[in-house]
Amino acid sequence: MQTSVLEKYCDARLPWYTIYPTVAQFSTVVGAEACEKWLQRLPVNESVSLYFHVPFCRSICWYCGFARSITRRDSPILEYLAVLRKEIELVGAQVPQRLPVSDVHFGGGTPTLIEPAQFGALMELLRRRFAVSKTAAIAVEIDPRTFTLATSEALATAGVNRASLGVQSFDPIVQKAINRVQSEAQTERAVEMLRQHGVIRINFDLIYGLPNQTVQSCVQTATTAVAMRPDRLAVFGYAHVPSFKKNQRLIDEATLPDSPARAEQAAAMANTLIAAGYRQIGLDHFALPDDELTLAQKAGRLRRNSLGYSADTCHKVIGFGPSAIGRLGDGYVQNEVEAGSYSDQINARRLATAKGYCLSLEDRVRAAIIERLMCDFEVDVPAICITHGFAPVPFLGSPERLAMLAEDGIVEVAKGFIRVRQEHRFLTRAVAAAFDAYLGAPLC
């Protein structure tokens, strides 16, 4: 890829468009009262997804950009679980009947720091309050460094059928630079324990663009991961925002690769995974040919949500725990980010919604256009506009941005149909930005 094109369009400040509008547009105008009304309006015959944020880790990873708390003790986790159970009851009292649930995801933090018995009790409560389908996808994020046999058994007993393992890099030099030393053996052992207990759908999270990372170490990490044959791999680019995440200030910026090096690393990892039989899904996911993501992509029903790419067909997500984001029919809601504020609200028997966003009809059209670009690398803008009852002309994005992208050979545009060229898919976020009505930053 030409360096000049990268410098012009590869802007780390651009959103990843997991949701649209992005969290930057959320406002305190949308609070607990609005969330209550939106929950009450959820259709009783439509399945929802549930997301649980468990904000605890045993140690801090310097690259991390998520809301989390470091604890060596179990008591804060037990206190949090007591509050979480109250939140489940509060939400359950607002939604009509026992809403059907087809997808449950535990993220963090490290959800598997929850003691096995406590995790089982939490799942029992969920099944009492919601109609969790027998075929529901139930996924848990795992830190292999703290994963135990007892936890593996508990996950299987509770019905967990997908595990997402944080790996990031197998290079010990990189691991030291990000304060996450994790041996290949620890990861292998976690995979083996999960498979032995019937949790056979395995995801790996890898990262490029980390300090001291090279193309060679990226390829070696991908090769090592492939040997364990996970069903899916997510290959994310490290986002260095030390002004927002203080822990990232511990990373030596001089050791970070520049944009051309990052692009080379991403391409090398993608080539390694594709050569090993994985199919590329969207920008940064890879899956085996029979995985749900691959099948969803083939069928044109791949989705984009706050967790990344998904085969989940639910249009509604209810978020639990501090910082959790939900999407209800009317818009987005986000819980209090700070754990203490979250707990105070729930203990006062109030929903913990801190801010949110009420979707306009125009937002929905733009969101649909952006989602198809991010998932399919192409979009029929007029068709989406017509589906939503809008004239296509106002929704053809920024004419200046689209014209610039077309002139530079990034996209092909014909009668409102936009396709990102194969060799420039790495820049799809820049194309999606042409339809972002709230983005003020220039492309270059």
Give the separation between CA 353 and CA 118, rounded to whole angstroms.
Answer: 25
* 313 and 420 both lie in a single domain: no
Same-domain status, 307 and 398: no
Same domain, 382 and 301: no
Instruction: Assess if residue 348 is contained within a domain.
Output: no
Q: What percent of the chain has pLDDT over 90?
A: 81
Average pLDDT on 261-285 reads: 96
Q: 320, 344, 369 — which closes off a domain?
A: 320
- Does some domain include residue 244? yes
User: Does the residue 440 lie in any domain?
Assistant: no
Q: How many structural domains is the chain composed of?
A: 2
- Last residue within a domain, chosen from 320, 338, 372: 320
pTM (two decimals): 0.93
The pLDDT-based confidence of 13 (bands split at 50, 70, 90) is confident
Q: Are residues 304 and 381 in the same domain?
A: no
Do 211 and 314 fall within a single domain? yes
Q: Which amino acid is at 120?
A: G
Task: Evaluate if residue 112 carries a pLDDT over 70.
Answer: yes
Q: Considering the domain boundaries, does residue 328 fall inside one?
A: no
Lowest mean pLDDT among 137-151, 196-210, 395-409: 395-409
- Do 267 and 378 lie in a common domain? no
304 vs 8, more confident:
304
Q: Please give the C-alpha separations between residue 133 and each of 48, 235, 318, in angstroms, as whole numbers.
A: 11, 30, 16
- Please tell me whether residues 44 and 184 are part of one structural domain: yes
Residue 313's pLDDT band (cuts 50, 70, 90): confident
* Judgement on whether residues 218 and 131 belong to the same structural domain of the protein: yes
With respect to residue 340, please indicate whether it lies within any of the assigned structural domains.
no
Please check whether residues 286 and 430 belong to one and the same domain.
no
pLDDT at 100 over 70: yes
Among 320, 338, 369, give the residue marking a domain's end: 320
Single out the residue of 169, 325, 141 nearest to residue 238, CA to CA: 169
CATH assignment at residue 386: 1.10.10.920
**Is the confidence at residue 391, as pLDDT, over 50?**
yes
Kindly state whether residues 151 and 273 are assigned to the same domain.
yes
Could you tell me if residue 427 is inside a domain? yes
CATH number of the domain where residue 176 is located = 3.80.30.20
Residues spanned by the domain of 197: 3-7+18-320
Q: Does a structural domain hold residue 327?
A: no
pLDDT above 90 (res 222): yes
If you average pLDDT over residues 413-420, what whole number do you get?
92
pLDDT surpassing 60 at residue 335: yes
With respect to residue 333, please indicate whether it lies within any of the assigned structural domains. Answer: no
Q: Do residues 259 and 374 share a domain?
A: no
Among candidate residues 210, 207, 47, the one with its CA nearest the CA of residue 136: 47
pLDDT at 307: 83
Residues 310 and 370 placed together within one structural domain of the fold = no
